[in-house]
Amino acid sequence: MDKQKAGISNQQAIRPLQSLNFFMADLQAGVGPFLGIFLLAHGWKSGLIGSVMTIGGVAGMLMTIPAGALIDATKRKRFYVVIAAVFTIIASCIILITQNFWLVSISQVATAIAGSAIGPAIIGITLGIVKQKGFNRQNGHNQAYNHAGNVVGSALSGYLGFKFGMPAIFVLSAVFGLLSILSVLLIPAKAIDDRAARGMKEGSKAGDKASGFKVLLQSKPLLILAGALAFFHLGNGAMLPLYGLAAASNHQGNSSMFVAMTIVIAQVVMIGTSLLAMRMAEKSGYWLVLLISFVALPLRGFIAAHLISHTGIYPVQMLDGIGAGLQSVAVPGLVAHILSGTGRVNIGQGVVMTIQGLGASLSPAIGGWIAESIGYSPAFMILGSFAIGSIILWLVFARILKEAC
């Protein structure tokens, strides 16, 4: 009888969990891809735009590890998703009201801090519902819903931005935020096993303690993964907003529609690649999945440098969809697998997100100033080349990584 109730509870939890991933997609991205275009229209230069994005990225990076530790420790994971959604909505409103540098910077800091808790919270909730054995498959489905949400949100943003102006995009983000709050509150609290949610061993008792934090530093596969992702995101972080700025500078039609198209193309591809990554991982592990994702970035940078146009966004953003779509499944799945049984899964996710966030937070500033100094095309080539560091790490430590994967 208890198993039947648990099964029913899980089904009741999975439906709103998928809805949460759908609506949270737009909330996580927020107005980020459109922010550069919005500020450019208000007289900002690419270097200053990149700097304000970097300020937010650094704030998010610094808070990710504490957020992961908090999600591991708390039994109120749904609450932190609600708080993150509220903060993101408020931050978007601030940008709409004023374009003062410091207020915009504060809004980006608030958004980044809130966002630092969202990823570990959703991973923890998923683990708590389906346990370690069901995580890879459910995470693959979560990511498919997440990317579908991005498609819908971006398409609506592009249409509303074209029809009613950029402020409509901020309103849409707030609506998705409210729907995210509703979705997470529909997940039954009793459906979340708090010990499974932090990666404790199956069958562990209430008195059993999690491993010490040193387990994170002693895991070579975890540190290699984090380093490879740092290189990747150092190049990848600025690619999408910079491509939108390049298009706007070249007067490639309506800027909000152009940015929306870049997102929609990538996210449609990500729906398929996230499901493909799930199946590849079940068959042969995560090593090849991540290698393919790293190779996609140099190709993307080369094409972006030579095709800043409506024609170019298709191959450029399809490659983004391949890289990011594969990683959206492989990275959380691999971290959960490496740290299974330690009770430190979510802080481990935070460590990896922090190190890759270091690259992502520096990327907009590096890309913005390179573009302002020597042009957009050289900037794309340089950004794409950073992933070569990821590929080298992945191949040099292939034996260790394949065992972990």
Number of domain units in the chain: 1
120-175: pLDDT as tens digits:
889 899 989 998 888 888 989 998 998 888 888 877 877 887 788 878 888 888 88
The answer to whether 402 and 337 have CB atoms below 8 angstroms apart is no
Instruction: Tell me the pTM.
Output: 0.78
- Domain assignment of residue 206, yes or no: no
Segment 35-56 mean pLDDT = 78
Residue 325 structure tokens: 């779509």
- Domain assignment of residue 345, yes or no: yes
363-379: pLDDT as tens digits:
888 888 888 888 888 88
Which residues contact residue 325 at a Cβ distance below 8 angstroms, ignoring those fewer than 6 apart? 143, 147, 269, 270, 271, 272, 273, 274, 276, 277
- Domain assignment of residue 371, yes or no: yes
Residue 92 structure tokens: 């978007």
What CATH number has the domain bearing residue 136?
1.20.1250.20
- Kindly give the interhelix angle for 46-73 and 32-41, rounded to the nearest 10 degrees: 150
197-213: pLDDT as tens digits:
877 776 655 555 555 56
Confidence label for 3 from pLDDT (cuts 50, 70 and 90):
very low
Say which residue the tokens 């749904």 belong to.
Answer: 78
At 229 the pLDDT is 94
Say which residue the tokens 């975890």 belong to.
Answer: 222
Range list of H helices, 74-191? 77-97, 101-164, 167-185
Measured distance between the N- and C-terminal CA atoms of the chain, rounded to whole angstroms: 37
Does position 221 have pLDDT exceeding 80, yes or no? yes
- Domain assignment of residue 154, yes or no: yes
Task: Provide Rg for the chain, Cα atoms.
Answer: 20
Segment 176-198 mean pLDDT = 89
- Domain assignment of residue 256, yes or no: yes
- Domain assignment of residue 382, yes or no: yes
- Domain assignment of residue 317, yes or no: yes
Burial status of residue 396 (CB atoms within 10 A of its CB: 0-12, 13-18, 19 or more): exposed
Q: In whole angstroms, what is the distance from residue 165 CA to residue 179 CA?
A: 23
Q: In whole angstroms, what is the distance from residue 236 CA to residue 384 CA?
A: 7
Which residues contact residue 132 at a Cβ distance below 8 angstroms, ignoring those fewer than 6 apart? 196, 199, 202, 336, 337, 340
Tell me which residue range forms the domain holding 104: 6-196+212-404
- Domain assignment of residue 238, yes or no: yes
Of the two residues 7 and 31, the one the predictor is more confident about is 31
